Amino acid sequence: MNKPLRRIAIFCGLLVLALLVRDNYLQYVKADSLRTDTLNRRVAIERYAAPRGDIIVDGNPITGSTEVKHGDFKYKRTYKDGPMWAPVTGYSSQAFGGTQLENLDDDILTGNDDRLFFRNTLDMITGKPKQGGNVVTTLNGAAQKAAYDGLKKQGGKGAVVALEPSTGKILALASFPSYDPSSFAGNTDADAAARNKLLKENNPADPTLNRALRETYPPGSTFKVVTAAAALENGKYTSADQPTDSPLPWIMPGTTRPLPNEGNLPCKNATMRVALQYSCNTVFGKIGADLGNDKMLEEAKKFGFDAEQFTPVRSNA
């Protein structure tokens, strides 16, 4: 073989080698990232090719899916009592992605979670269409409705969270004002317009803000539970039914100002049980002052203050 032909053969061989290296790199090294790339239209089409699993409250779904009559996305999300449940469910939108449980448990809801492998395999063998898995919550429908209706009646802005004390289960988690996630679950111009109306720059009420999890509020009278626990654990009182040495009025240390109660309440030397019932500022203010900052801080940290929380959405320390 003469020299020019040998050079051409070597060059062609290098081109074939480069092609093989590139092909293997795409198929094995980059396969997962390309498969899950948000710009890969096939990923999005597959994502909405089957109904999502549901979010369950009291054994019943508070979400659903409906078939879309246009475009290449077959199903979109629907919500029952959307504004009431939005702080819990978040939204799942073909155009804007997802938040809250819709985002955190997306692998389960789309049916792609490894925990559904056995079921998915059986469905594939038996010819059943792919289906999403359900997410079962600890929420109580009646408690959630009472919380949301109360906030709505009160007006303004606010949040309500109800917990089961013995386990920490979330029974209600409401925020007001709220929004309907169904209003922008698709990817049309109407969905985009509906979402834009909810953004803070276009709506000062900021209805998409989850005030139950994304705002930091003073604990207020709920902190009296922490104060009561600190009193019992540090031996200041041996029982919640033991009278407290709490004068009325009570002057806060270092000041000349009485700490007021909310009205004419039976707070003088009240037991902690009665003081908690009537939310006596004087009783718990004095207990906190008597125990001192170090003991109160130690007890507060036991309750999770000053620590990041997962509920299941991360909240501020």
Class for the domain spanning 45-198 = alpha beta
Quote the CA–CA distance of 69 and 38 in Å, as a whole number.
Answer: 23
Q: What is the pLDDT of residues 167-183, one digit of tens each?
A: 889 999 999 999 999 99
Helix (H, G, I), strand (E, B) or coil at 15: helix
Across 222-246, average pLDDT = 94
Whether the CA torsion 73, 78, 83, 84 is positive or negative: it is negative
Q: Residue 66 forms beta bridges with which residues? A: 76
- Alpha carbon distance 314, 317 (integer Å): 9
Name the DSSP letter for residue 130.
P
Question: In three state form, how does the secondary structure of 247-309 look?
Answer: CCCCECCCCCCECCCCCCCCCCCCEHHHHHHHCCHHHHHHHHHHHCHHHHHHHHHHCCCCCCE
Q: In this predicted structure, what is the pLDDT of residue 302?
A: 93
The domain ranges of the chain are 45-198, 220-315
Check residue 139 and give its pLDDT.
Answer: 97
The verdict on whether 221 is a catalytic residue reads: yes
The token duo for 222 is: 């709920």
Q: List the single range of 52-66, 108-122, 190-204, 236-250 with lowest mean pLDDT.
A: 108-122
Average pLDDT of the chain? 90
What pLDDT is attached to residue 119?
87
Mean pLDDT calculated for residue range 112-137: 88
Tens-digit pLDDT profile for residues 29-83? 877 777 777 777 888 888 888 899 999 999 999 999 999 988 889 999 999 999 9
pLDDT at residue 25 in the model: 82
Catalytic: which of 93, 166, 182, 221? 221
Q: For the stretch 284-293, what's the b/e string if a residue is b when 16 or more beta carbons lie within 10 angstroms of its beta carbon?
A: bbbbbeebee
For the chain, the first-to-last Cα distance in angstroms comes to 76
DSSP 142-184: HHHHHHHHHHHHH-SSEEEEEE-TTT--EEEEEEES---GGGG
Q: How confident is the model at residue 316 (pLDDT cuts 50, 70, 90)?
A: low
108 membership: H or E segment, kind and range: helix 106-110
Q: Which residues contact 310 (CB under 8 A, 6 or more apart)?
A: none
Which is more confident, 193 or 316? Answer: 193
Where is pLDDT greater, at 102 or 121? 102
For residues 82-91, give the mean pLDDT. 96
Instruction: Give the Cα separation of 247 and 96 in Å (integer).
Output: 58
Quote the percentage of the chain above a pLDDT of 90: 65
**Cα atoms in the 13 Å half-sphere on the side-chain side of 84:** 19
Taking the model in full, what pTM does it have? 0.74
Task: Give the angle 92-114-122 at the CA atoms, nearest 5°.
Answer: 100
Residue 271 confidence (pLDDT) above 80: yes
Using alpha carbons, select from 286, 163, 305 the residue that is nearest to residue 228: 286
The torsion of the CA quartet 125, 128, 133, 139, rounded to 10 degrees, works out to: -140
For the record, the structure tokens of 317 come out as 């320390």
288 vs 127 pLDDT, higher one? 288
What is the model's pLDDT at position 41? 82
The Cβ of residue 65 has, within 10 Å, a number of other Cβ atoms equal to: 20
Number of residues that this document lists for the chain = 317
pLDDT of residue 176: 96
